[in-house]
Structures are given as C-alpha cells and as structure tokens.
C-alpha cells in the first residue's frame, strides 16, 4: 500500500536541456602501451571544449567499457557538474552501438559529436553552428579544414557548382594539411604524395566561406538529420565509421568545414605544449625509420594486435 504522496508530483518546473548537446565517445581499456597518455588526452579534450566554445551546451559522455581509473574520473566529473549526462557501458559496444545510443538519446536539437582525442580552440562550436545554420541542407560540419576523400563529396560538389562560388586547387596550406594528417600515422613521404594527388574545394555562400568536407571523428549536425541514418550496424569496434560519411553524401547532404582551424586531432599523445614537465627527447630519426620498415613493422603490429584482441576484444 502506498504511504503518502510522491513529492515529485508537486514539482512545477523541470530543467530544460540546452539546445546543443556535445556528445563525447570514450574508450580507454587500460593505461599503458598505446593508451599510456590517453586519460590525459581525454582531460585536455574536455577542458578545451569548455574553453570559450562560443555557445552554451550540455555535455554527454558515453564511455565504452573503459578501465576503472577512467570511469572514476568521469563519475567525479559528473558529480562536480562538469558532465550533464554520463553513460557507462559495461562492454565496448563499438562506435556504431554508441552512436545508436547517443544520436537517439541526446536531448539537444543539435548534436556536436567528438572522439575523446580532439583538441578544441576558442569559438569552435559557434563557428560550426554558423555554417550549419547558414548553408542549406547541411548534414555535418567538422570544426577544422582538412582534405576529405573526394568520393564522399559528390553531393556537396554538385550543389556548390549550381548554387555558390566554388574554388578548386591547393588552397589548404601544406602546413595545415601536415598538422592534421601526421596524427593519422602517415610518414612524411606518404603525406607529400597524398597532398600532391588530391585537391581542395572551397565554397562561398551568403558571404560565408567554407571548405567542402567533414568527417566522423568530430562533427556538428541536427539531431533530426542524424536520426535518418540510425541504426548503425557495425560488426567491428572501429574501421567502419565512414558509413556515416558515405550515407550523408548519398542522401544529398552538404558536408562542410570552416576556413580556420578550430579543432585538432591529438591521437594518443599530448601535444608538446600541453605536456607537463620537460619535453620528451625525440627519437633518433634513423632508429625511427628502422622501426617503420615494413618487414619490421608488420610482424610487430600483428603481434600487438593479437595480444590486444586476446585480452580486450
């Protein structure tokens, strides 16, 4: 038998979520080897996104089965009011499984998604939303320019040719290209080759310039647009995330980037300027080249992957 009335019945107002939900996906299974610095990277990511984003937002974090040290940190952040929504998954459900929860459950009208290794710069959110709201039929906006594979830009290029001023060529400075692409594991020679064989597309619409392109690692989009692509059925934790890029282009949505750099991929290490203590000495370039030789690198990486899968798959 019920005793008394539920006090919640007398509450007349409830908190309203912000219009924008910043959604961060995190996975740190342990704090050694490849992941030795990733908790520090996560902390820098979260702090930088809050530093003058330009617009208010609620933060949602989906943790994909991280180790106890990382979960304890996130719970503390939630208890201290720096995370508004925290989801702790018992297991790693992959990026697709996490996206299904995030894109379906984030309360904001606009979702700004990020991986946990992104370094943000002031006004990153404001500049992203400006493009989202100025251009028509925008699918996603990534907060820095970089070279996006042209096969994911067919709808954007076709629209720009008919409706805006379009430029093509080596418009993105090589230094900016290198700054971003070097974090993806390419050698200097590979980067020079990629830059020489690809091109940039820059468009101007209503006096607001933008590069054509965007990517799954960080983007801002309307929740209603993202809902059209659910669910994501990915059978691997990573490696299939370009499904979103492909689906956006196939559906005819624009994919855009601002002409200035408001975000940078840190990968699994802190940038030198953000590292505590004295800088780490650079490895001898000859030794580095030795470890990068295919006959050396390939079997070592295969062994690393086998050990990782044995313990954490």
Range from 54-63, 72-81, 283-292 carrying the lowest mean pLDDT:
283-292
Mark out the alpha helices in the chain (DSSP H runs).
Answer: 38-50, 68-79, 94-105, 124-134, 154-163, 174-181, 188-197, 223-226, 242-250, 285-292, 294-312
| pLDDT tens string 239-258 | 567 788 889 999 999 999 99
Mean pLDDT across 160-189: 91
Q: Choose between 130 and 190: higher pLDDT.
A: 130
In DSSP terms, 85 is beta-bridged to: 60
If one counts every other C-beta atom within 10 angstroms of the C-beta of residue 169, the result is: 9
CA angle 25, 47, 33 (to 5 degrees): 60
CA neighbor of 266 nearest in space, from 171, 110, 150, 144: 144
CA angle 89, 111, 210 (to 5 degrees): 135
In DSSP terms, 110 is beta-bridged to: 20, 222
pLDDT the model gives residue 312: 56
17's CB contacts (< 8 A; 6+ apart) are: 58, 84, 107, 108
pTM for the full predicted model: 0.85
The bridge status of strand 200-205 relative to strand 85-88 is: unpaired
- 313: pLDDT strictly greater than 70: no
Look over the chain and give the mean of its residue pLDDT values, rounded to a whole number: 88
pLDDT the model gives residue 232: 84
Whether a cis peptide bond, with omega within 30° of 0, leads into 148 is no
pLDDT the model gives residue 47: 97
Strand, coil or helix: 292? helix
Range picked from 87-91, 145-149, 273-277 for highest mean pLDDT: 87-91
70's CB contacts (< 8 A; 6+ apart) are: 26, 28, 31, 39, 42, 63
Domains of the chain by start residue, with CATH:
20-265 (3.90.550.10)
Mean pLDDT across 215-225: 96
């Amino acid at each position: 038998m019920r005793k008394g009335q539920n006090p919640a019945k007398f509450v007349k107002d409830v908190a309203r979520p912000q219009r924008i939900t910043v959604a961060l996906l995190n996975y740190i299974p342990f704090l050694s080897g490849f992941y030795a610095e990733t908790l520090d990277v996560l902390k820098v990511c979260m702090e930088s996104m809050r530093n003058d984003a330009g617009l208010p937002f609620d933060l949602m974090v989906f943790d994909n089965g991280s180790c106890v040290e990382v979960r304890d940190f996130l719970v503390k952040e939630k208890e201290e009011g720096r995370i508004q929504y925290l989801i702790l998954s018992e297991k790693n459900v992959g990026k697709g499984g996490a996206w299904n929860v995030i894109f379906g459950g984030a309360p904001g009208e606009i979702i700004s998604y990020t991986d946990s290794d992104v370094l943000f710069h002031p006004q990153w959110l404001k500049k992203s939303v400006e493009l989202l709201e100025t251009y028509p039929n925008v699918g996603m906006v990534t907060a820095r320019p970089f070279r996006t594979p042209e096969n994911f830009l067919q709808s954007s290029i076709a629209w720009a040719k008919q409706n805006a001023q379009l430029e093509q060529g080596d418009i993105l400075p090589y230094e900016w290209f290198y700054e971003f692409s070097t974090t993806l594991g390419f050698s200097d020679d590979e980067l020079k080759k990629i830059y020489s064989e690809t091109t940039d597309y820059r468009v101007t619409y209503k006096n607001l310039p933008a590069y054509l392109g965007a990517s799954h690692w960080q983007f801002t989009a309307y929740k209603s647009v993202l809902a059209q692509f659910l669910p994501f059925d990915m059978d691997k934790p990573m490696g299939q995330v370009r499904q979103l890029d492909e689906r956006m282009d196939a559906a005819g949505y624009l994919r855009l980037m601002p002409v200035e750099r408001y975000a940078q991929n840190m990968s699994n290490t802190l940038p030198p300027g953000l590292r505590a203590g004295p800088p780490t000495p650079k490895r001898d370039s000859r030794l580095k080249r030795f470890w990068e030789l295919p006959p050396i690198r390939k079997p070592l990486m295969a062994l690393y992957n086998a050990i990782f899968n044995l313990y954490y798959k």
